[in-house]
Chains A and B, each alone.
Chain A
Amino acid sequence: MPSTAQPAALSGRRLPNLWDFVALCCVVGALVAVAAAFRGTLVPLDALESTPIDLDPGRLPEYALRTTLRMFAALVASILFTLTYAPLAAKSRRAGQIMVPVLDILQSVPILGFLSFTVAFFMNLFPGRVLGLELAAIFAIFTSQAWNMAFSFYQSLTTIPADLDEATRLYRLTTWQRFWRLEVPFAMPGLVWNTMLSMSAGWFFVVASEAITLGDNTWKLPGIGSYVAAALEKQDITAVFWAIGAMLLVILAYDQLLFRPLVAWSARFRFETTASATAEDPWMLALLRRTTLLRLAGDAIERAFGAFTGLRLGRPAATVSRRRAASRLNDAVFAVLVAAAVGAALWQVVDYVAGALTWADLRETLFLGSLTLLRVVVLIVLASLLWVPVGVWLGLRPAWARRVQPLAQFLAAFPANLLFPPFVVLIVRFHLNADVFLTPLMVLGTQWYILFNVIAGAAAFPGDLREAADNFRVGGWLWWRRVMLPGILPYYVTGALTASGGSWNAAIVAEVASWGNTRLEAHGLGAYIAQATDAGDFHRIVLGVVTMSLYVVVFNRLLWRPLYAYASRRTNLG
C-alpha cells in the first residue's frame, strides 16, 4: 500500500549504516577508474599504434570500462540533443515541418555506412590525437540513439494533455519552468524506455566503431570491439569467447545498475489517474533509497535541481493567438528558402556522385538492394514463424513470461556482431555458401524484438476474451486467426518493424565476414557499402547508403506504417 512508504522515509535514522560503506567504496572506485580511462584519450595517436590490443583476458576489464565510458558519453550527448532538438521542432511550426521529416529519415539511414566520413571529420578536428577517434566512435553510438530518443520526446511534446497545458499557462509558468515541470516529466516514461531500446543499438555500434578502417589505415581504440577484431585477425576463438563473456557482464551491470532503477523510477511520471499495482523496487533503487548517505545526497541534489528548474527564466506563455495574414508572407519566404536549400543539396549530391559514377552503378546498387531486401523479408518471416507461437505461449503463462521477458530484452541488447565469429568459423570450416549462411546473422540480434513484443502483447491480452474463446470452445487455427493474432497484432508490428530496421543496419556488418585471412562475402547492398568503405571510395559509399536509406524508407512507408495504423485501428474498442 502506498502510504506505508511515508513514515519510513520520514524516520530520523540519519546515522550511516553498512550500506553507506559499500556505497562509498563503489563511488570512489568508479571515480578513479573513470579518471584513468579519460587520461587515455589525450595521448597522441602514435601511442595508440605502438600499443596494440592485448588478447590477454586480464586486460578485458580495462577494455570493457573504456567501451562502457564511450557508451556513457554518447548517452549524455544524445540526451542533450534530445532536450534541444525536439522542443525546437515541436514549438515552431515552420521548424517542425523540416525537422520532423529529417529525424524520420535519419532514423532509417544506416549510419554505419557513414563511419568513414565521420572518422575523417573528427580526425581533422583533433589531428594526431586519439580524441578524434574517440569522438568518431562516440558519434557513431550517438547516431544510433539520438534520433529515436528525440522522436519519442517530440511525440510526447505534441501530445501534452490540454488541461495541463492550460494550467501551466494560467498559472503563468515561464517557458523554463514549463519545460521542467510539465514537458520533461510528461515525456519521461517514453524517453527512458526509448533510451533503453536505443542502448541495444548502441552496443552494436560501439563494437563496430572501435576498430576503424579508413583507406589504408586501421586504428583500434582500446575496447571490447577492438579486442574481438584483433582476435579475428589472429584466429583466436578463445579470446572471442572471453570477449563475449565480458560483454555479457557489462550489459548485465548496465541493466541492473542503471536501467532497471531508471524504469522503476520513471513509473511515477506515468500519466495515469489511477494508482496501478506497483512492482517491487529493483535492488539498486532500493539501495539508493535506503542508504542514508545516498538518500541525503539524493535529497540535496533533488532540492538543488528543483531550485534550478524552478528559475523564472523566459517568459510566461502568451495566449493562443490566431494566425495572422502577415505570417502567410513569412510562410512564402520560408518555403522559398527551403526550396532553395533542397535544390542546392540535391545539386551537390548529384554533382558529387555523378562525377565518378554512372547509371550502371545505380542499377547495380538497386539490384543489390533488392537482394538484401529479399534477405530481410525472408528472415523476418522465418523469425516470426518461430517466435510468434513461442511468444504467445510464454505470454499467456505469466510465471514464464516474467522470467523470459527480461532475458529476451537482454538478448536484444547484446551486440550480435560479437556473436558472428563462431558462425563464421563454422561457415569457413564446412565451406558453406556465404550467400545463404551469412544471412541469418542479420537477424541474430534483432529477432528478440519480435519475441519480447509478442510476449508483452500476449500477456496484455484481456482475460475475459480468452475466457470467452474457451467458453465457445474456439480452438486450433480458428483461435489463432480470430482471437490471438488480431490481439497481438499491434505489438507484433512494433516488434517486426524494429527488427527489420535493425536488420538493414546489420547487413553492413553481416554480409561481409572474415576469419584470419579468409574473407566471406555475400551479394548485397551491405557488402557493397562495406567494400566501398574498405576501399575508401567515398562516391560508392554515398550511393550505397542513399540507396539503402531509400529502400528502408519506402519499405517503412509502404508496409509497416499502414500495417501499424490498421492494427491499432482495428484492435481498439471505441
Chain B
Amino acid sequence: MAKLTLPAAELMYSGHSACPGCGAALSMRLLLKGLGPRTILSIPACCWTVIATPYPTTALGVGVLDNPIEATGASISGLRAAADALGYKDLNIVGFAGDGGTADIGLQALSGMLERRTNAIFVMYDNEGYMNTGIQRSGATPLGAWTTTTPVGPTSHGKSESKKDIMAIVLAHNPVYAATLNPAFPEDFDKKVEKARDLPGPRFFHIFAPCPPGWKFSSEETIELGRLATDSGIFPLYEVENGVYRITRKSGSLKPVAEYVKAQGRFRHFTPADTEALQAQVRSGWEHLQRMEAETRPTGVPELTKPAPRPIPVPST
C-alpha cells in the first residue's frame, strides 16, 4: 500500500453534520491539514454553515467568521487588513464558499478581492448547485443536469445552459495562484494547498465536491466518482501559477464521460445525444487546457516526463 504523505494533524473533528459521503466535508478536512491551525476561515451561507455545527459547538479547530452569502471576498479583504494592521504574522486568511457564493451571488466580491490583490485564499467548493437549500440550479450546475429548478418533463430537459467557467473568470484577474483540487486525489490536493499557503497575494482553489443527495449517487461512491470526474476530463486537475499552466494529473487517454454520466441520477434522463454534447464540451475543454499548458510553458523548460500516476488505494474497512 502506498504511503500517504498528508499532514497527520486533524483540524476538522468528528461530530460535524455533513451528509455521508459529502465532498465538501472531505475538502475542508484536507484543506485544514495543509493550512494548519494559524488559519481564519470566513464562511458564507452554504452547506458548511450547517456542517460546522450550531452554537455553541464547532467542528473546526480554527477561527471561523460567518458572513452573508455574497460577501466572502470582502470579508477576507477585511480580515487581512486587520491582520496587517494588528501585526498578526503567518496567518492564513481563507474564504470558504460554495459555488453559488462564489460564481453567482459572490462573484462581485470575489472579483473585488482579486483585483485588490488581497493576500488571501478564496476557496470555491463546487457541489454544482444550491445544495443547502435543497438542490436548485446554480451557474456551476453542468449542462443537462436535473435539479429541482431544472426538472425533467415535457418542456424541460434539465439545465439548458453550460457550467460557468469560474477558473477563466478568476484567471482573467491574474491571481498569483489558481488551481483545481479534488479530494479524490488527496496528495495532489495537499501539495496545492501547501504550495499556495506560502505564496503572497490572491489565490483561488476550485474544489470538486460531489454531493450524494444532490447528484443522486450512493454515498460510498464519492471517491470513485471524483476519480472518474478527473480521469474523464470533466474536472481536470491543473494549477496556474503567475499565468503558467500545469496539468497535475495526466492519465493518458480520457475515460468516456458516459461512465461519469451513468453513475449519477441527475443525468438519468440523458439520451446518447446529451452525453455526446457533454463529451464534446469536455473534449474541447481538455484540448484548450493542453494548449494553455503548452503556450504558457516557460521557454527553455522541457515538459516534465512524469511516471504514470499511481492510484492511491482506498483502505478496506
Do the two chains bind? Answer: no
B interface residues with partner A (beta carbon < 8 Å): none
Footprint of B on A, CB under 8 Å?
none
